[in-house]
Amino acid sequence: MKGIRRLAQELEISIGTVSRALNGKPDVNEQTRQRVLEAAAAMGYVPNQAGRALRKGSTGVVGFMMQSGSQITGQGDVFFMSVFDGVQMVCARHQLDLVVLLCSSEEDPDAYLQRVVARGFADALIISATKRHDHRIEFLARRKIPFIALGRSLTDVGHPWLDLDFEGMAQTGVDRLVARGHSRIGVFAPNDDTNLGYVFIDSYRDALHRHGIAFDPDLIFRTYPNDRGGHEMGERIAAMPAGRRPTGFILTNEMLTVGLYRGLHDCGIRPGADFAVIGRHSTHAQYLNPKLTCFYLSLRDLGIQLAESLLATMPAYAEQYPLGVVRKVLPLELIEGDSDGPAPR
Amino acid sequence: MKGIRRLAQELEISIGTVSRALNGKPDVNEQTRQRVLEAAAAMGYVPNQAGRALRKGSTGVVGFMMQSGSQITGQGDVFFMSVFDGVQMVCARHQLDLVVLLCSSEEDPDAYLQRVVARGFADALIISATKRHDHRIEFLARRKIPFIALGRSLTDVGHPWLDLDFEGMAQTGVDRLVARGHSRIGVFAPNDDTNLGYVFIDSYRDALHRHGIAFDPDLIFRTYPNDRGGHEMGERIAAMPAGRRPTGFILTNEMLTVGLYRGLHDCGIRPGADFAVIGRHSTHAQYLNPKLTCFYLSLRDLGIQLAESLLATMPAYAEQYPLGVVRKVLPLELIEGDSDGPAPR
DNA sequence: GCTTGCTCCGTAAACGTTTACGAAATTAGG
DNA sequence: CCTAATTTCGTAAACGTTTACGGAGCAAGC
């Protein structure tokens, strides 16, 4: 005899009552409920996930899908860890468990998601690293599975998403550098189909246009969004002839920022003196020298908002989070440092 | 009509046969098996996880438990991402899915593990950040749940584990620095109960003893194992009077290494010139200047070995991985750089 | 032709829950 | 005291699989 049966036998009541007591149903005597609760705690009873999921058709877990291999996402552990922490805080409030679903670098994300969904791993999903055109969005919408995307996409089915304010970063970055006399401003663009690159570049062009500065495609640097890519960009910049070289740079990615900083440094270009850098905050970036001027956002808050927006789309929790369909861009704070130094010569 | 029933109806055979065909059982005509396989693929049928788990008593997933909040684990960067990738590669070979179970920074790891196990999330578990005395190990052993620990522990129930060779790092580190004339060698120790600290410090003392150098407790620096802690250590070192100050340092943690490097740098102490540093390799560390002398280990390989050793303890896979109970220390390679520079003055 | 063995397949029970339904016991209302 | 309403609980079906069991069909051996 195992599980709920054993508990029921112990208490000499029926399994139905035990289940109701445990699940907070109203039609059970408050006194027996207490007995059940105590006995359950004493025996360390926890409802079997499979049985419950089978019967209820829901699992009580929310999945966070991400691609492994930072060479792809460009986000290191600390990025996601912090986000997870926020997501989980909210989930814990509702007895929801968070599991991280890791799509191997060798598997197709679309296929992976299909499997995850078909197997019924989770009731709701958070997907990250959204592509410009993302099949996962259509798929989840068609299946009517609650989900939220971290990152906008051209694939729009009226689904909820959260994203960083790349427009804002491009604009304030350009404004700031132009105000200091820069006109050749370099930016990074991912070399794949992740959507954020397009959004950022478009805003960058707009901002330049507002200032009457011609757009130069040579100032867009395509590489992998990790520190290696950043380092390599630094070397490429150093290798450019003085006239064609950018005099400043705007970055929205943590790892990339650190890499670029080092890459410039190794080539004898000093950020804040010879070259202006506006980057993205990270724990590493705190120790860069000279102090980095950067965009900051609390990743834990991002996680919290992600989770709350997701719950808002789940029937069972919607009334507790009356947010509607959240499609929001989160602004970043500019932390002033010394890396966007003086005017170019 | 859903799931396997629908499939069976479509094919006009019984659900039993469908199930057997799908699961590769021998007693099914090869021709009908093909028909079933094709139909399943066409309809996008994937067995429901809950039903299967309930019946079989196993889930086909392996869980990787970790604590969130890099301020605790001390592993930032891409440590876990890389390990995951290795684990998953092996899992995928056996149709096993990897899920990451994230214990929130607000929850007790022991309680979290209990919940995870009771709910039947996974068939087998990998636990990380093992403590010197770790209840999780006893718990899992008592429940006879296949698991492997990333990190040794004094709690020893004859369970499998994998760990980095901290003894080796301490010895080669000390040998190398002593050979260059150092006698005051600083090391880091975690300020909590994680076991690796003890192992490392013990070996460090032994190594000193072999060289006839007295052990000075002031040369053990306790702080958080992250970059902030490393930076702070650098400042503390700089603040010490010249005679009591270490002239070199040995580190086994990625983030800490980067932090220390910066901390020293910011205080005007130049690694490789004024001070010797032997650290731990990471993607970030590659760009430190001067080039870091460091210990390297392929994290993906670590993941692969973890997974294979875990499968070796699972009855269903044991014969494919005849490794026995793996309890192994993985050696690290020393990559020579310039940071462990010249002799002290 | 009868038995034996083999191949293939259908039937039904089981896994551990939740929950609709109805029954028993109690209380309230008159 | 009878009826109606309410509270509390037990019963049993259902969720989607897997698998033990047995039966049908057929070939082979004698």
Q: Where residue B317 sits, what CATH number does that domain have?
A: 3.40.50.2300
d(CA A147, CA A122): 10
Judge whether B200 lies within some domain: yes
Contact B242, B273 (CB under 8 A): no
User: β-strand A124-128 against A161-164: which pairing, if any?
Assistant: unpaired
pLDDT, residue A25, reads: 94
Report how many Cβ contacts below 8 Å link chain A to chain B. 166
What Å distances lie between residue B129 and A264, B156, B201, CA to CA? 36, 15, 17
Cα separation values, A129 from A124, A256, A312, A338, Å = 17, 16, 21, 31
**Chain A: closest CA distance from residue B211 (Å):** 36
CB contact under 8 A, A262 and B289: yes
For residue A126, the model assigns a pLDDT of 97
The structure tokens listed for A278 are: 């506006």
Which residues put CB within 7 Å of chain D, the nucleic strand? Answer: A 13-17, 20, 27-30, 32, 51, 54-55, 57; B 2-5, 15-16, 19-20, 22-23, 25, 27, 45, 47-48, 50-52, 54-56
Question: Quick one: how far is CA A108 from the chain centroid?
Answer: 19
A247 and A278 both lie in a single domain:
yes
Q: Does the beta-carbon distance from B266 to A259 stay under 8 Å?
A: no
User: What is d(CA B217, CA B210) in angstroms, rounded to the nearest whole number?
Assistant: 17
B54·A50 Cβ contact <8 A = yes
pLDDT digits (tens, 9 = 90+) for A269-319: 999 999 999 999 987 777 787 899 999 999 999 999 999 999 999 988 998
The per-residue DSSP string of B296-327 comes to E--HHHHHHHHHHHHHTTSTTTGGGS---S-E
Q: Are residues B184 and B273 in the same domain?
A: yes
Provide the pairing of β-strand A97-103 with B97-103: antiparallel
Chain A residues touching B80 at Cβ < 8 A? 77
Q: For residue B37, is it within any domain?
A: yes
Using CA of residue B18, residue B20, residue B24, residue B26, what is the dihedral sign? negative
- Whether B158 and B172 map to the same domain: the answer is no
pLDDT-based confidence at A194, cuts 50/70/90? Answer: confident
Q: Do A46 and B118 touch (CB under 8 A)?
A: yes
Residue A71, pLDDT score: 44
Tens place of pLDDT per residue across chain B (345 aa): 889 999 999 999 999 999 999 999 999 999 999 999 999 999 989 899 999 999 999 999 999 999 875 444 444 456 788 899 999 999 999 989 999 998 888 889 999 998 888 888 899 999 998 999 999 999 999 989 999 999 999 999 999 999 999 999 999 999 999 999 999 999 998 877 788 888 999 999 999 999 999 999 999 999 888 777 898 999 999 999 988 999 999 999 988 898 898 889 889 999 999 999 999 998 777 778 789 999 999 999 999 999 999 999 998 899 899 999 999 999 999 999 999 987 666
How many CB atoms are located within 10 Å of the residue B37 CB? 12
B26 and B126 fall within a common domain:
no
Asked if the structure places residue A337 within a domain, the reply is no
Q: Is A272 in contact with A290 (CB distance < 8 Å)?
A: yes
Q: Which nucleotide is nearest to B54 (CA to C1')?
A: C15
B167: phi then psi, degrees, rounded to nearest 5: -60, -50
Residues facing A61 on adjacent strands: A97
Interface of B with A in 199-238 (CB under 8 A): 226-228, 231
Q: Which range of residues forms the domain containing residue A18?
A: 3-47
Q: Please classify residue B122 by burial: count the beta carbons closer than 10 Å to its beta carbon, then call 0-12 exposed, 13-18 middle and 19+ buried.
A: buried
- Taking CA–CA distances from A265, the nearest residue in chain B reads B289
Nearest to B292 by CA among B341, B337, B342: B337
Q: What CATH number is associated with residue B8?
A: 1.10.260.40
One domain for residues B148 and B186: no
pLDDT of amino acid B196: 82
CA neighbor of B214 nearest in space, from B166, B179, B257, B178: B178
* Cβ neighbourhood burial of A281 (10 Å; 0-12, 13-18, 19+): buried
Note whether residue A345 is domain-resident. no
Exposure of A208 in the CB half-sphere (CA atoms within 13 A): 19
Q: Gap from A29 CA to D4 C1', in Å?
A: 22
Tokens of A71: 């060479």
pLDDT computed for residue A77 by the predictor: 57
Nearest-CA distance B209 → chain A (Å): 36
Q: Are residues B272 and B303 in the same domain?
A: no
Minimum-distance CB partner of B115 among A46, A104, A265: A46
> Is residue B293 domain-shared with residue B314, that is, in the same domain?
no
Question: Of A44, A82, A231, which is closest to B114 when you measure between CB atoms?
Answer: A44
Strands in chain B per DSSP E: 61-67, 97-103, 124-128, 147-150, 161-164, 185-190, 220-223, 248-250, 276-280, 293-296, 327-330, 333-335
Sequence length of chain A is 345
Positions in chain C where some atom is under 7 Å from a protein CB = 7-12, 14-20, 22
Q: Taking CB atoms and an 8 Å limit, are A85 and B98 in contact across chains? A: no
- Within chain A, where are the H helices? 3-11, 15-22, 30-43, 49-56, 70-73, 77-92, 109-119, 135-142, 166-179, 195-210, 227-239, 254-266, 299-312
Q: Is position A253 within any domain? A: yes
Q: pLDDT tens-digit profile of A137-165?
A: 999 999 899 999 999 999 999 999 999 99
Q: Tell which strand D nucleotides have any atom below 7 Å from a protein Cβ.
A: 7-12, 14-20, 22
**Which pLDDT belongs to residue B73?**
41
Q: What is the pLDDT of residues A100-142, one digit of tens each?
A: 998 888 889 999 998 888 888 899 999 998 999 999 999 999 9
The percentage of chain A sitting over the pLDDT mark of 90, rounded to a whole number, equals 71
Has residue A22 been placed in a domain? Answer: yes
Helices B299-311 & B79-92, crossing angle to 10 degrees? 40
CB B225 within 8 A of CB B74: yes
Checking DSSP bridges between strand A147-150 and strand A185-190, what pairing results, if any?
A: unpaired
Q: pLDDT tens, A31-56?
A: 999 999 999 999 989 899 999 999 99
Query: Are both B204 and B280 inside the same structural domain?
Result: yes
For residue A54, tell me if it sits in a domain.
Answer: no
> What is the reported pLDDT for B335?
96
A45 touches chain B (CB under 8 A): yes
Show residues of chain B in contact with A99, CB under 8 Å.
99-102, 121
Contact: B49, A120; criterion CB under 8 Å: yes
CA angle B126, B132, B135 (to 5 degrees): 60
Alpha carbons B66 and A81: distance in angstroms, whole number = 10
Quote the number of domains for chain A. Answer: 3
pLDDT at A17: 96
Which residue is nearest to the C1' sugar atom of C6, using CA? B27
**CB of B169 closer than 8 Å to CB of B332:** yes
Residue A344 lies in a domain: no
**Which chain B residues touch A97 with a CB distance below 8 Å?**
115, 119, 121
| Per-residue pLDDT at A309 | 98
| Cβ-based contacts of A106 with chain B (< 8 Å) | 89, 92
- Give yes or no for B120 touching A (CB within 8 A): yes
With beta carbons under 8 A apart, name residues in chain B contacting A41. none
Are B284 and A258 a contacting pair at CB < 8 A? yes
A242 and A325 co-located in one domain: no
φ, ψ of residue B189 to 5 degrees: the values are: -135, 135
**Same domain, yes or no: A133 and A202:** no
What residue is closest to D19 (Cα–C1')? B16
Whether residue B109 sits in one domain with residue B86: yes
- Say which residues have a Cβ less than 8 Å from residue B316's Cβ, sequence separation at least 6: none
B49: nearest CA in chain A?
A119
Same domain, A85 and A189: no
In A, residues 163-202, which contact B (CB 8 Å cutoff)? none
Q: Which nucleotide shows the minimum CA-to-C1' distance to residue A19?
A: C18
Q: How far is A73 from chain B (nearest CA, A)?
A: 11
Is B99 close to A98, i.e. CB distance below 8 A? no
pLDDT > 60? residue A69: no
Peptide bond between residue A290 and the one before it cis (omega within 30 degrees of 0): yes
Tens digits of residue pLDDT in A257-277: 988 988 898 899 999 999 999
